[in-house]
């Protein structure tokens, strides 16, 4: 398919990328392109300039610090997370990345692209919300780091605004995590998904039911369904699932994710 005409730049530093994004109103950051190029084909977005982040090695890779904290560069691909020995410190990361689409998409798609596109059906926004990840955003005024609740603002909208870049994701140590989804075909688009993390109590984040992941807390697995039920969800109906079915799935999947988290040794 022929895309609308677009300029292309491949900066060699984050500073240069930020200057390009800030200096061109129609500029968009291009990460792995596994969402953005399709969006451009559909003319749902028509940027005037693509700022390709692929040359920025400072945004790639997974680091594990002595206290177990993981720092993941925003341009790290799903496949790189799957293959990373360091990322296994928080096993759920690789387990969920292995469920995203297919080999080809996992080889190109990035954690930063998944989070910044913030499609409500994406896997990683609820996972990051459940495990307490923090997102670091660079802009003209320097860096700031925000929690998931402040990062995911709306459908396709995050705290990384125009002229800014998500640079890295910080994941605290932990192992008691779970993820469950009902998808369109194996590893397909999520109809509803849920991530859970047990750290004293459960934090469960449900995806696909609102513009941003819906986070609920529960003291035990037995209390998860009631907590989701009490969250007052109002998911949309579409060709794949009715509102009522999504409400049902939200409770079931939240409980499954919590049971998986609890079962982890």
The residues that touch other proteins, with contacts defined as CB under 8 A, are 1-8, 10, 30, 33-34, 37-38, 41, 50, 52, 54, 79, 101-105, 107-108, 186-187
Q: Closest Cα partner for 221 from 180, 183, 190? A: 180
Pairing of strands 152-154, 157-158: antiparallel
Sign of torsion over alpha carbons 98, 252, 190, 213: negative
The two tokens of residue 154 are 């709306």
Alpha helices in 203-242 (DSSP H): 224-229
E-state strands within the chain: 7-9, 27-30, 49-52, 62-64, 70-73, 134-139, 142-147, 152-154, 157-158, 165-171, 177-183, 190-199, 201-207, 214-218
Contact 52, 21 (CB under 8 A): no
Choose between 111 and 131: whose C-beta lies nearer to other proteins: 111
Q: Work out how close the CB of 122 gets to other proteins at its nearest, in angstroms, rounded to a whole number.
A: 15
Q: 203: how many CB neighbours lie within 10 A of its CB? A: 21
CB under 8 Å, gap of 24 or more: what pairs does 139-147 form?
Answer: 139/18, 139/22, 139/163, 139/164, 139/165, 140/18, 140/22, 143/167, 145/170
Q: Work out how close the CB of 189 gets to other proteins at its nearest, in angstroms, rounded to a whole number.
A: 11
Distances (CA, A) of 181 to 67, 127, 239, 254: 31, 11, 17, 9
Q: Work out how close the CB of 221 gets to other proteins at its nearest, in angstroms, rounded to a whole number.
A: 29
Strand partners, 154: 157
Q: Work out how close the CB of 82 gets to other proteins at its nearest, in angstroms, rounded to a whole number.
A: 11
Choose between 65 and 104: whose C-beta lies nearer to other proteins: 104
Q: Work out how close the CB of 2 gets to other proteins at its nearest, in angstroms, rounded to a whole number.
A: 7
Choose between 84 and 197: whose C-beta lies nearer to other proteins: 84
Choose between 9 and 223: whose C-beta lies nearer to other proteins: 9
Choose between 61 and 173: whose C-beta lies nearer to other proteins: 61
Choose between 8 and 67: whose C-beta lies nearer to other proteins: 8
Q: Work out how close the CB of 1 gets to other proteins at its nearest, in angstroms, rounded to a whole number.
A: 5
Choose between 33 and 94: whose C-beta lies nearer to other proteins: 33
Q: Work out how close the CB of 162 gets to other proteins at its nearest, in angstroms, rounded to a whole number.
A: 21
114 phi and psi, to 5 degrees?
A: -60, -45
Q: Work out how close the CB of 104 gets to other proteins at its nearest, in angstroms, rounded to a whole number.
A: 5
Choose between 100 and 192: whose C-beta lies nearer to other proteins: 100
């Amino acid at each position: 398919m022929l895309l609308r005409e677009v300029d292309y730049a491949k900066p060699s530093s984050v500073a240069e990328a930020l200057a390009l994004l800030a200096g061109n109103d129609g500029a968009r950051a291009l990460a792995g392109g596994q969402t953005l190029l399709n969006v451009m084909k559909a003319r749902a977005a028509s940027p005037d300039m693509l700022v390709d982040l692929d040359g920025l090695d400072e945004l790639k890779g997974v680091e594990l610090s002595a206290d177990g904290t993981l720092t993941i560069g925003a341009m790290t691909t799903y496949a790189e997370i799957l293959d990373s020995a360091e990322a296994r410190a928080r096993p759920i990361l690789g387990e969920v990345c292995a469920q995203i689409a297919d080999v080809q998409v996992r080889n190109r798609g990035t954690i930063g692209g998944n989070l910044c596109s913030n499609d409500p059906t994406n896997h990683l926004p609820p996972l990051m919300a459940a495990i307490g990840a923090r997102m670091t955003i660079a802009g003209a005024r320097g860096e700031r780091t925000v929690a998931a609740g402040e990062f995911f603002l709306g459908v396709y909208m995050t705290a990384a605004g125009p002229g800014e870049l998500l640079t890295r994701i910080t994941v605290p140590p932990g192992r008691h995590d779970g993820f469950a989804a009902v998808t369109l075909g194996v590893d397909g688009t999520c109809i509803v998904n849920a991530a859970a993390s047990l750290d004293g109590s459960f934090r469960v984040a449900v995806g696909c039911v609102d513009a941003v992941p819906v986070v609920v807390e529960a003291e035990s697995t037995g209390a998860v369904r009631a907590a989701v039920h009490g969250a007052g969800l109002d998911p949309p109906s579409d060709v794949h699932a009715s509102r009522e079915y999504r409400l049902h799935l939200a409770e079931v999947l939240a409980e499954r994710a919590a049971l998986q988290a609890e079962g982890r040794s």
